[in-house]
Amino acid sequence: MTPLSRWLLAFGVAVVVLVASTGTAMVPYDSDEESAAFWRRQGLEALTRTLHRVQAANPDEARRVAKNVIVFVGDGMGVSTTTAARIYKGQRQGRVGPEGATLAWERFPSLGLFKTYNVDKQVPDSAGTATAMFSGVKSRYYMLGLEARARLGRCDLEQDHHRRLGSIMGWAQMAGKHTGFVTTTRVTHATPAALYAHINHRDWECDTKVPDDQRDCVDDIARQLVESQPGSNFRVILGGGLKQFGQVQDYNATWDDSCERADGRDLVAAWRGGKERAQFVRTREQLLDVNVNEADYLLGLFSPGHMPYALETNVTDYSPPSLADMTLRAIQMLSKGPDGFMLMVEGGRIDQAHHANMAHLALEETLQLEAAVEVALRIVDLSETLIVVGADHSHGFTINGYPARGNDILGYADEENKYQTLTYATGPGAIPSIRGDPDSVYHRHFAPTFLKDAAHGGEDIVVYATGPLAPLFTGVFEQNYLAHAVSYAACTGPLAYMCPFRTGSVSAGHTSAAAAAGATMLLLLAGAALRILPHC
């Protein structure tokens, strides 16, 4: 080998080593991100910057207070889903130019983007994203209500107590507000569970799902909902999940891996214990018959597992309410609170339809969420109610090709080449034999790569807001920002101490005093970044 050859070989090896090292030795994330303090500081700094902008544009807006807050979550509802649902809505209505249809939240005055990654995943799951939204702290994939220093699937009895995260619901309860949530999934599923649970694995919904060696360390999610705060203080809980509460046996659910309790606990009876004027309902008729003036607490479990899709017609044993029905009753119940309320409403089966590559079901579930938003808009006072609509994450779901205007959004973009307008990156639709009839609501759209459940998408999601302090949601934010913005807007939790600087301390007409109070507010917010928030 000549000297030149040896030099070229050595240079090539060096380049390969350099490329390999820069490609694989990259530090995935700053270890500080595992600390709750990191995300609290980051969220409060983002809030301070946004408040400065809002105050400069409209000082009166920055001083408003939201007596009530409703957060609507379309699980898996990325931009491609809302676009396709908008077109689907227009076509279902027989609209000329269906692409020009509008979803209810698209008329809101403020919108922004949320970055959805988990501390340890570029593309997140619902447990990590919901924990971020509702606690103000980003955490790990598949964990609920614990900072990222906790371990997935392994409870630490001594340390995890200090790793628990507060939530917007606990903060609201401390402020005297009535709280509750509504979902089309099990009430113990990832998104609602992030409101109240602190657990090392999202699947630990009942005792038989918790590993034997972990049961002395942590209660299952259903027990935490009934027996621990803030779950035990919810005024309204509506969704699926009878099995998790020990109410039914031998139920064969499609798609649903619901667990059965082995400890003999009747959690409905446990929920009733100690509560006056508490009502439990199992059907739509029972829900609509509830006299809200005679009930202070309402638990509705309408199916053994997840609630059926809105388009399903083969459910005969249960008569479930719609998401709009549940939202209406929840608002009516919670509105009795003199100090306001906090409500979360989840269209949870959008995500599950996408996991199955069933685009038709996903789009219909999106319109079910829209119907729930429209109910809220009709009955709340927007001068005192902040409404936020968003998603926890997106899906690997795309709108393809060059279909003509008015083309069936669920059909083929190109009849000659036979490819669908709506396709997925992954999922069961990769197998032609299980795609089914294209005209069926259960048809699975094409995916090039097989996965049992289609994977999520990692792009930013859109958040829409209306009501007091809606401009706080204009911009690009980390997803944990939502909890900080809600805390400030509603005068709850870590930013409740800011309320005297916004309501009553400045008399009408004293603009210089108002400006001084605003400056003080921003300084205090900057200092608040170092505060340790309560573990509510």
Q: What are phi and psi of 167, to 5 degrees?
A: -140, 165
Is the bond leading into 230 cis (omega within 30 degrees of zero)?
A: yes
Is 126 assigned a catalytic role?
yes
Non-local CB neighbours of 523 within 8 Å, separated by 6+ positions: none
Q: Is 60 annotated as contributing to ligand binding?
A: no
Q: Is 346 annotated as contributing to ligand binding?
A: yes
**Catalytic pick among 110, 126, 135, 167:** 126
Q: Is 460 annotated as contributing to ligand binding?
A: no
Helix residue ranges, H only, 136-275: 168-174, 190-193, 221-227, 267-272
Handedness of CA 346, 350, 351, 353 (dihedral sign): positive
Angular region, 155: left φ>0, alpha ψ -120 to 50, beta rest: beta
Helix residue ranges, H only, 335-437: 349-355, 359-379
Q: Is 392 annotated as contributing to ligand binding?
A: yes
What tokens appear for 419 in the block? Answer: 């490819």
C-alpha to C-alpha distances, 252 to 78, 238, 248, 417, 532, nearest whole angstrom: 31, 21, 11, 40, 46
Q: Is 393 annotated as contributing to ligand binding?
A: yes
Q: Is 313 annotated as contributing to ligand binding?
A: no
What tokens appear for 291 in the block? Answer: 């006299």
Q: Is 443 annotated as contributing to ligand binding?
A: no
What tokens appear for 290 in the block? Answer: 């509830």
Supply the DSSP string of 6-63, one letter for each residue: HHHHHHHHHHHHHHHHHHHS---S-GGGGSHHHHHHHHHHHHHHHHHHHHHH-HHHHT
Handedness of CA 410, 413, 415, 416 (dihedral sign): negative
Residue type, 212: D
Q: Is 355 annotated as contributing to ligand binding?
A: yes
Beta strands at 341-347 and 178-186: parallel, antiparallel or unpaired = parallel
Known binding-site residues for Zn(2+) equal 75, 351, 355, 392-393, 456
Known binding-site residues equal 75, 189, 191, 346, 351, 355, 392-393, 456
Known binding-site residues for Mg(2+) equal 75, 189, 191, 346
Show which residues are catalytic.
126
